[in-house]
Amino acid sequence: MPDIEKVSSALRCLDWQPVHAIDCWTDGEILLVAVPVCDDTDWHYEFSVITVNCDMDFFGVTCEGETWGWELDDVDWCIAI
């Protein structure tokens, strides 16, 4: 369950949007995303800057020009940058 309180207090003041609320992606759009990650005792957010790559026949995301290890379905929060 998404929890904005788990986002670092230094970043919490930004205009985070729930990723499920976004209904349209733009090719070349750059996002800061928060993915929940579990460790042995708790969970936290891992942050990545990703680029959306899409057209009529393709949708994917990259991070630093490489295939990103997550899917957008894994993301709780995002900010367009």
pLDDT given at position 9: 86
Residues of the chain falling short of pLDDT 50: none
pLDDT given at position 51: 97
pLDDT given at position 2: 86
Domain count, the chain: 1
Domain that residue 65 falls in: 4-80
3-state secondary structure of 6: helix
**Would the pTM count as exceeding 0.85?**
yes
Q: Identify which of 23, 24, 7 has the alpha carbon closest to the alpha carbon of residue 15.
A: 7
Residue 37 is inside which H or E element, if any? strand 30-38
